Amino acid sequence: MIVLGLSGALKHDPSAALMIDGEIVAAAEEERFIRDKHAKDRLPLKSARFCLEYAGVKASDVDYVAFPYAPISIFSPARWAYSRGYWYAPDRVLDALLNGNRRFRAHRRNVIGLGESLGIDWDRAEFVPVEHHLSHASSAYHLSGFTDKCAILGVDGKGEYATTFFGYGEEGRIHKIKEFYDPHSLGGLYGAMTEYLGFEMLDGEYKVMGMAPYGDPSRYDLSRLIEPRGKGFAVNTQYANVVGLRRHKDDGQAFYFTDKLIEWLGPRRVGDAADDPYIHYAASMQDLFEHWVQKLIDEYLADVLAETGKLAFAGGGALNVKLNQRLLARDDLDELFVQPASGDSGTALGAASYVAVTKGDNVQAMQHAYLGPRYDNDACLAALQAHTGQCRWRQMTDPVAETADVLAAGHPVAWFHGRMEFGPRALGGRSILGCPNSPGIADRINEQIKFRERWRPFCPSMLDRIAPEILQTDHPAPYMTITFDVAEAWKTRIPEVVHEDGTARAQVVDESSNPRYYALLEAMEQRTGNGVLLNTSLNRRGEPMVCSPTDALNMFFGSDLEYLVLEDWLVTKDD
């Protein structure tokens, strides 16, 4: 059975994923191919073509096209809850009640047209819509590898109407316990405060999370932003998660918070500095987010967790690594699986896995996130020969040893190897690497290469056999989705990857998933005594992660990087 998953219903982060007989064959975000961050208002045309070509599958052979956005009945509580929440915007209320599936119909037409462009045989293939949060849930549960019953959590901005999902998985089926609906969205509130703190939604949430450890959450009480309502919660729309005339406007831009928030907290933050009071607002928002997710888990998932000890988590909120650390510290949680592509790009994979299961396939667990394109040495050489920048290159006889020598000497290295990662994290396929005990290398990469805020932290990649000593746990951590407290003895050994609060968002590398990257870590261990590398994505601020050798060369010449490893080729700008 061939299932093609396509996402992009929420007008950002379109992607494609291909499953054949229950196995993930390929998955990629559209932004990587068109070089436009989040690929807003685009369809996953190039990413879908890649998936089919990589698998050697004709579009006309596809059995099902899965799409993570579905029609919602007027008899569902979703449209009525939405209408009550936006009572002050009558146009939204009428649209939800009288024409609530308008967007779905438009998306369906777009996907049918995209399929025709790809060569899908719609007389043979079936278009299958899957509710957005069921797609998130499937991407976590069905790909987690959990064979027994487990709890499922989804925290997102919103899908069709739902924003937050609580359920459980058992024997391949997903059971819904509770959903909350827009405007009552924990992810949406975090996004609105992200805007207030001077960042853009979709990217800036990570910056708020990175800023939070510099602040004191007790300095400012933001609890009025969320009000208890029965066993659940309600976002206070006097301050945030608003539409229409309630939105604060500045220089022609409208935000998802109100003038009342400005009156309460002061002007919106501008600039790159992490300063008072905004660092404390960030800390308080992070604390509030963690508090309410935990409170809702206690209400709706405690029984399942007490029975199983397992939680599968997806949605944009699942990329909040500080939250995930707190979840893992729960007494009733033994194992946490966070989908590495937890944002909306991952719903292509989730919709595909959901359809595959419902149509009878035995879906296999996700083994790794290296699901994008790969380029061999010949393709890299062709890109080098075609590039107009003045550079030198040579083919290395021992790429691992020679790269380790450069890193151990204190130089950052752009590392391009194997298949591109699916999801927002660089995992040793498209990475900028550094030696984590080289003083100042994090500041250098921030200021001269990535051109981003200097207080932003970096992540460590580490050998699996030393990770338990560093992280003080043997819990799986292959995808940089959880922070851990770094052991005291290691804080001074790898200071460039330890954050302000003593934690690190770690990638634990096993040899089977990426043999060359594992060998590089071992080579660094031989040279420095630490089998650890500083690892950040191969891109500049505001750009997608690089995909092709040409992308890597453009990024290389647009920064102060001095060394680029393209598979076996070492590229430099001078002798």
CATH superfamily of 2-75+91-143+342-358: ATPase, nucleotide binding domain (3.30.420.40)
Q: What would the pLDDT profile of 515-551 be if each residue is shown by its tens digit?
A: 999 999 999 999 999 999 999 999 998 999 999 999 9
CATH number of 186-338: 3.30.420.40
Q: What would the pLDDT profile of 136-156 be if each residue is shown by its tens digit?
A: 999 999 999 999 999 999 999
pLDDT computed for residue 62 by the predictor: 98
pLDDT computed for residue 451 by the predictor: 78
Q: Does position 453 have pLDDT exceeding 80, yes or no?
A: no
Q: How far apart are CA 345 and CA 362, in angstroms?
A: 23
Domains 2-75+91-143+342-358 and 377-572 share a fold: no
Q: How far apart are CA 112 and CA 126, in angstroms?
A: 10
Q: How far apart are CA 552 and CA 543, in angstroms?
A: 12
Residues in CB range of 431: below 8 A, 6 or more apart? 414, 415, 535, 536, 537, 538
Query: Mean pLDDT in the chain?
Result: 96
pLDDT computed for residue 575 by the predictor: 59
Helices (H) and strands (E) in the chain, counts: 20, 24
Q: Which whole number is the average pLDDT over 190-203?
A: 95
Q: Does position 179 have pLDDT exceeding 90, yes or no?
A: yes
- Name the residue with tokens 């981003």: 452
248 classed as catalytic: no
Q: Which whole number is the average pLDDT over 168-194?
A: 98
Q: How far apart are CA 61 and CA 124, in angstroms?
A: 8
For the chain, give the percent of residues with pLDDT over 70: 100
> Of 12, 368, 417, 499, which one is the catalytic site residue?
12
For the chain, give the percent of residues with pLDDT over 90: 94
Q: How far apart are CA 479 and CA 341, in angstroms?
A: 9
Greatest alpha-carbon span in the chain: 70
Q: How far is CA 43 from CA 47, 130, 458, in A?
A: 9, 17, 32
pLDDT computed for residue 203 by the predictor: 86
Q: Is the peptide bond before 399 cis (omega within 30 degrees of 0)?
A: no
Q: For residues 483 and 507, is the Cβ–Cβ distance under 8 A?
A: no
Q: How far is CA 501 from CA 213, 218, 485, 491, in A?
A: 6, 16, 8, 11
pLDDT computed for residue 52 by the predictor: 98
Q: Domain residues of the chain, as ranges?
A: 2-75+91-143+342-358, 186-338, 377-572
pLDDT computed for residue 447 by the predictor: 86
pLDDT computed for residue 10 by the predictor: 85
pLDDT computed for residue 523 by the predictor: 98
pLDDT computed for residue 274 by the predictor: 79
Q: Which whole number is the average pLDDT over 70-89?
A: 97
Q: What would the pLDDT profile of 46-57 be if each residue is shown by its tens digit?
A: 999 999 999 999
Q: Does position 18 have pLDDT exceeding 90, yes or no?
A: yes
| Listed residue (224, 152, 154, 214) closest to 189, CA to CA | 224
The full DSSP string for 496-531 is GG--TTSEEE-EEE-TTT-HHHHHHHHHHHHHHS--
The upper half-sphere exposure of residue 459, i.e. CA atoms within 13 Å in the direction of its Cβ, equals 26
User: Confidence class of residue 450 from pLDDT cuts 50, 70 and 90?
Assistant: confident
The two tokens of residue 392 are: 């030198």
CATH superfamily of 377-572: Carbamoyltransferase, C-terminal domain (3.90.870.20)
Q: How far apart are CA 185 and CA 199, in angstroms?
A: 19
The two tokens of residue 372 are: 């994008």
Q: Does position 99 have pLDDT exceeding 90, yes or no?
A: yes
